[in-house]
Structure 1
């Protein structure tokens, strides 16, 4: 069988992205994808945030080849290995210590959802409470505990069971720019007649990715930290998509100057696309009994190798974050120009770092149509939001200025084609 026939015939109907991008990819390098029949695509998707450093980054490829050829441990459960020790040392030295962060590191099963599951479980154990506060348009994963904190109706309906012990409240901006939604949170927490039990934790994304590129303000995040800290509620920052440089800083909460009690990290932490996930937690919260949360593949030593290489290459000084800031300025200026160029769409532009979106307040279906048209022109770009109304820009952090300009020109051409059809 050739082409997509074998996938259509034998793969589950659950497959998703292949329906939006119906080709067979074979090779990739940096920000470029190649199909088996030789067509080239520019990538503004980056594996949904897994490939912050681009496809097949030669720095990581070389490190992995050398490790494999040396006979290094590949699968280690949670046993001690040289690869894990070297990663922990590098993460502590390069990421945590310079930011004044004093966290223990838990290696969970290798998905973001498993990191969220672990964070929620240990928060409930540490506090002895069960309720969790989550926010509108949140996405925290699709296993049942994480799904309970996720907002999207489609995903929640697929769970097939009731999803309890989570109270949903409005995210920053959900009720308009002039409403501080934390007034409601504070009132509910302090009113014994509200019916909202004191939660074990509040879980939040500083930048909501799947929810539509919604960016919490610095003031809102700081107030959320003050509210939780004053009441003994643990604050969990979900950094799975917005972390590892995506926001312009290593962590998306850094700009607010806050220190969460727990942090979930996955997607690009391995740097190479290999599965890996972490929970960072304060020592007082680390109440686990040995083996209380396990996972067969929590010791992915190949991921430790590429993760360490990324830290030592990109995060030892400010050169990388400086380059991200340059590309962000380029991207934001271009998106604002596009919004001005197509006033009939009534676009809003939002984002931070290299995590941006444009959404038409007039025509929510426009984003999907532009994504489809852009794909025919050689650009992979996805949509997000409750109605898929946001065209989501998630290029590799290593993308060149020329590549970014080329992709943005394809978006312009696609918009012109769709709006004139």
Structure 2
């Protein structure tokens, strides 16, 4: 068998990223990965945002290895362990107390969609209402409840029996500057004839990552929180991909000065290990013991990794400032690309270390990412049609690698554009592309 044949023969057709990045990878460090043939790639993908602290972070690895060597508890359901206690203490001291946030922690496991399911469940339980409001182009996960508030039709199938009682409303600037989507939401909530039930919660991402790097304004977020308060509706912020420092602050909502009723965290909160967490205001913690459970909600290796990440990066503001500075470099490199190709690109958008370039031609965006991978750069698309090329590199990536990666992306855009103009097929051999160039 060749290197990919075993996957093609035995693994489900549902596999996705292996099609975009058709290599067998062998090792990784920081923001670099190598395939089994030794070819090096710069990683602008970071495990879809699960590796904010990079591949094989040395501090995290050291702590986990030491824990394993000392026969530390691995699996403990929701029993008390030293690893969990250390994580809670660090999370309170490094994250909650400096931001004057008062939340109870619920460990759910081990994926982001588990956190969303839990948040929806507790919101409905507390408010004794079934309806939930979410937003156009939102993405919240692949289990049934999470799917019900996910906008993209691609992920839906009527045969799934996705639960009802959810309504999507327009996100910030979804209908352009001329339509005030906050006023629209307020109106349909206050109008008894709008046909909309009073919801238990409003669920949103402050930056829609999979939806195309759609950034809500600070004032819009504050207005949404005000509506929730006015109508006795809970505000749930899904910070699974854009939290954990991605925007330059630990939480993506900090810039707006809001305090959601419920926050969901996953991906990078585990320091590279599976972990999922729901934060809720203390008065919302209405669970009875064991009413909501899960076998793998006590991943102690993740607690060790997460504790180490917090102590290494979040004891002061140094790391956050570094992320913000790198974000400016990423923005400047993307702006340069936009200026080079105004005929190809609609706009640049994003914040901190999540940025996107929206292309007019979806196929071209896809071809650019494919060409970038051939050159040694892992980068993916986002948006409803995959029209946005998304930067999601780890937060510990060096400026040298950022610049090297963007040099490769610029080359990939030039190559893909030239091949497109020459009417070469997307999968044309590199030799043919080279002849055109």
TM over 0.5: yes
C-alpha spacing 1:371/1:99, structure 2 compared with 1 (3 Å): same
Deviation at 1:337, TM superposition (A): 1.1
Match of 2:55 in 1: 55
- Are 2:240 and 2:267, in contact at CA under 8 Å, matched by a contact in 1? yes
- Aligned residue number for residue 279 of structure 2: 280
Counterparts of residues 7-406 of structure 1 (less than 5 Å): 7-157=7-157, 160-271=160-271, 273-360=272-359, 362-406=360-404
Contact 2:345 2:357 in 1 (8 A): no
- Secondary structure (helix, strand or coil) at the match of 1:365 reads helix
Structure 1 Cα separation of the partners of residues 340 and 178 of structure 2:
28
Which digits, 9 at most, give the CA deviation of each residue in 1:87-137, with x for residues without a partner? Answer: 001100110010010000000011000000000000000000010000000
Which whole-Å deviations, capped at 9, do the CAs of 1:134-165 have from their partners, x for residues lacking one?
Answer: 00000000100010000111111286224311
Instruction: Describe the SS at the equivalent of 1:325.
Output: helix
Quick one: distance in 2 between partners of 1:35 and 1:156? 34
Answer with 162-171 or 211-220: which moved more.
Answer: 162-171
Q: Displacement of 1:390 after TM fit?
A: 0.4
Q: Which residue of 2 aligns with 1:6?
A: 6
What secondary structure, in the 3-state scheme, does the structure 2 residue paired with 1:186 have?
Answer: helix
Query: Which residue of the partner structure matches residue 426 of structure 2?
Result: none
Q: Could you say what secondary structure the match of 2:154 adopts?
A: helix
| 1:346 shift after superposition | 3.2
Following superposition, the deviation at residue 309 of structure 1 comes to: 0.4
Gaps of 5+ in 1: none
Asked if the contact 1:215–1:350 (Cα under 8 Å) also holds between the matched residues in 2, the reply is yes
1:419 aligns with 2:381: no
Distance across 2 between alignment mates of 1:14 and 1:319 = 41
Between 1:217-226 and 1:364-373, the stretch displaced more is 364-373
Equivalent residues of 2:247, 2:324 under 8 A apart:
no
Report the TM-score, using the length of structure 1 for normalisation: 0.98
Relative to 1, partners in 2 of residues 1:83 and 1:329: Cα closer, same or farther, differing over 3 Å? same
Instruction: Name the TM-score, length of structure 2 as normaliser.
Output: 0.95
CA contact 1:144–1:159 (8 Å) conserved in 2: no
Unaligned runs of 5+ in 2: 420-437
Question: In the TM superposition, what is the alpha-carbon distance from 1:334 to its structure 2 partner?
Answer: 1.1
2: distance between equivalents of 1:4 and 1:277? Answer: 31
Q: Distance in 2 between matches of 1:312 and 1:257?
A: 24
In structure 2, distance between residues paired with 1:4 and 1:363: 30
Report Cα offsets for 1:72-100 as digits up to 9, x if no partner. 10000000001001100110011001001
User: SS where residue 418 of structure 1 aligns?
Assistant: helix
Contact 2:213–2:354 (8 Å) recurs in 1: yes
SS at match of 1:63: helix
C-alpha contact (below 8 Å) 2:144/2:162 kept by paired residues: no
SS in 2 for 1:23: coil
Name the SS of the counterpart of 1:349 in structure 2. Answer: strand
* In 2, Cα distance between equivalents of 1:167 and 1:235: 15
Q: How far, CA to CA, are the matches of 1:227 and 1:366 in structure 2?
A: 41
The 8 Å contact of residues 111 and 275 in structure 1, kept in 2 or not, is answered as yes
| Counterparts of 1:139 and 1:108, CA distance in 2 | 19
